[in-house]
Amino acid sequence: MTADLHIHAAPPEGAAADWTIPQNWDAFTREEHAVWDTLFERQAKLLPGRASTAFLRGLDALRLSDGGIPNFDDLSERLMKLTGWQVVAVPGLVPDDVFFEHMANRRFVSGNFIRRADQLDYLQEPDVFHDVFGHVPMLADPVFADYLAAYGRGGLRALELGALPQLARLYWYTVEFGLVEEDEGLRIFGAGIVSSSAESVFALDDPSPHRIGFDLERVMRTEYRIDDFQQNYFVVPSFDELLRVTVETDFAPLYERILPRPSIPVAQLVEGDRVIHRGTQAYAAAREPA
């Protein structure tokens, strides 16, 4: 047996001890800025009436439509005034503790590369379009901004308590793939959805996935898939409510309760679910290997 010492790879050459790198905005080529513009225009057309009011407001407030990959210094200046957050560049995925430490200190880490023009819908690691277009508009919302900082603190705690997989599900089903209930109907806010043209439609309109009312314990017990559209989406009643339950819940006893229990497979409904839409699961069934 070895102790869990949180040993991880050293930052790559050219990165600081906290894994950040200079954005080096001047080094982006015209082609790379054009990829941003193409993706931006596609999503900007699709999202009114689909994305949450908070997301659309953030897009405006941060002037993400100015054209080209945003300069992080300018973006951080605007964001700092609104909610005290900054955006910092990293080479790619960073170790969990580094990721949480930045978040707890209101620094959002962004990949410093952009997908190729011939791979607009293909992504192995989060690039600057996913990270900035997908995540940063929500950080202009004061309530969501507090939620993400609280999540960072919770992440550091979950590492100590051996409950990272459980807490990561909360991130997945809210920050990445969350829906919110607004007066006019369901809206998307998860970065994985709003940065994807196909999933922006699928998550709201397709009969296949379940849409289930958010419940913290239920979400933290639920498996997820990283290789295709989600089979479950969880719907928060509001960001105030999401923030409230996460700051008011004592996570240590919650982890103690759920760690010994089996996880809930993707697409399985359980007793107590507030089912908003019972999915047909037809999309997933058709994609299963024969």
Instruction: Find out whether 130 is annotated in a ligand binding site.
Output: yes
> Phi/psi class of residue 63: alpha, beta or left (left: φ > 0; alpha: ψ in -120 to 50)?
left
Number of residues interacting with Fe ion: please give it, by CB under 5 A: 1
Contact 207/201 with Cβ under 8 angstroms?
no
Residue selected from 35, 89, 94, 179 as contacting ligand HBI according to rule CB under 6 A: 94
Binding partner at 191 among ligand HBI, Fe ion, none, C-beta below 5 to 8 Å by kind: Fe ion
Segment 143 to 202, residues that bind ligand HBI, using CB under 6 A: 164, 168, 171
Using the contact rule CB under 5 A, the part of the chain among 88-96, 146-154, 189-197, 229-237 near Fe ion is 189-197
41 among annotated binding-site residues: no
CB atoms within 10 A of CB 197: 16
Contacts of 256 (CB under 8 A, 6+ apart): none
Backbone angles phi, psi at 269, to 5 degrees: -90, 145
Q: What minimum distance in Å lies between the beta carbon of 174 and Fe ion?
A: 11
Residue nearest to Fe ion (CB): 191
Q: Which of 197, 225, 40 is nearest to 114 (CA)?
A: 40
Closer CB to ligand HBI, residue 131 or residue 141?
A: 131
Interface mask toward Fe ion for 191-210; x: CB under 5 A: x-------------------
Burial class (CB in 10 A: 0-12, 13-18, 19+), 121: exposed
User: Per CB under 6 A, does 36 bind ligand HBI?
Assistant: no
Give contact residues for Fe ion (rule: CB under 5 A). 191
